[in-house]
Amino acid sequence: MRLLILGTGRMAHNHAKAFAAIAGVEMVGAVDTSAENLDAFCNAFGIERRFVTLEAALAWGDFDAVDNVTPDAVHHPTTMLALAAGKHVFCEKPLATNADKAMEMVEAAERAGLVNMVNLTYRNVAELHKAREIVAAGTIGAVKHIEASYLQHWVALRDFNDPGPWLWRLSTGHGSNGTLGDIGIHILDFTTFAAGQDIVSMNCRLQTFAKVPGDRIGEYVLDANDSFIISAEFANGAIGTIHSSRWASGYANDQRLRIYGDKGGLELSHGHWGTLLRLCVGEDVPTGTWREVKAEPVHTNYQRFAEAVRTGVTAEPSFRHAAGLQRLLDLALVAGRDHQEHTI
């Protein structure tokens, strides 16, 4: 697979390292509007072809697929151009800033018969797949109650007198849907994937906290949500809470999921420190004894995409799956404004 990297920011470095380790993948070009960033990135990864516009890269065209690592608001227009040019696309999450645009991307990719995948990072966690297997096997019985959280503290650590390139993430006018759009999509996928249950109704509380006088730094209005709490009902009648914050002091980047059934419970914790999957079932339930469960490694999203391009068959997580998550995010924004419960 001959791959074009679109966008050369921090996440692009992670992508490039992952793709560089896959046999048969060659990073042949990169695109960034900043020539300085573009040169530094290409020099670091030995990429020869360098473009300051996607249009120029597409005019050259000697590649099979695009790895789209641009900011959220740029995913839609750039992906649509790549698909129109007949290129397979691996896109960072979220797929788009709203469900309508996401579905346009889905339909364009499927109509063209092109491989399309979204980088929902935590699909790379082996224990998440093991948790899904355990629940699907009925080991904990019928799922009744779910608790999930995704906690970060990077906003709490920021010096707002010295703003950096992260500032757009706090401003809806610059394409951010806040914590909900940035990490909410991860915990929604984490939860529904492991539980094997779709969310069918929800209400949501969103909160944006004051950061500087006037809540504005230059052209950036700091109005994107910082924390959210979703109360959800799942397809099988189970209920649960899903919450997230970027003000969670002491937690750099931690997810936790607890799923309780009528035969036992499951707990999955994941962060930079590692991953822990525990199970309490059978005779351990009365004593509250939890036992660690190990998981075999799984292929990463990057590996699955490379294989999908080789075979021509889209793998999960696909654009269509990500568009479904975007629909949940859009509904959560509505519920956060009107404080009403909404059915999916």
Residue 165: band (very low, low, confident or very high) from pLDDT cuts 50, 70, 90: confident
Residue 222 — φ and ψ, nearest 5°? -90, 70
pLDDT confidence of residue 248: 97
Mean pLDDT for 197-209 is: 97
- Sequence ranges of the chain with CATH classification 3.40.50.720: 2-121
Burial environment of residue 168 by CB neighbours within 10 A (0 to 12, 13 to 18, 19 or more): middle
Q: For position 182, what pLDDT does the model report?
A: 87
Beta bridge partners of 265: 260, 280
C-alpha distances (whole Å) from 334 to each of 192, 328, 343, 344 are 20, 10, 11, 12
CATH architecture classification, 2-121: 3-Layer(aba) Sandwich (3.40)
- Alpha-carbon Rg for the chain, nearest whole angstrom, is 21
The distance from CA 341 to its chain's CA centroid, rounded to whole angstroms, is: 24
Encode pLDDT of 105-147 as tens digits: 999 999 999 999 999 999 999 999 999 999 999 999 999 999 9
The label of the residue with tokens 């994941």 reads: 270
Q: Is 124-302+326-343 in CATH node 3.30.56.10?
A: no
Mean pLDDT of the chain: 96
List every span in the chain annotated with CATH 3.30.360.10: 124-302+326-343
Distance CA 305, CA 293 (A): 28
Residue 64 one-letter amino acid: D
Flag whether pLDDT at 181 surpasses 90: no
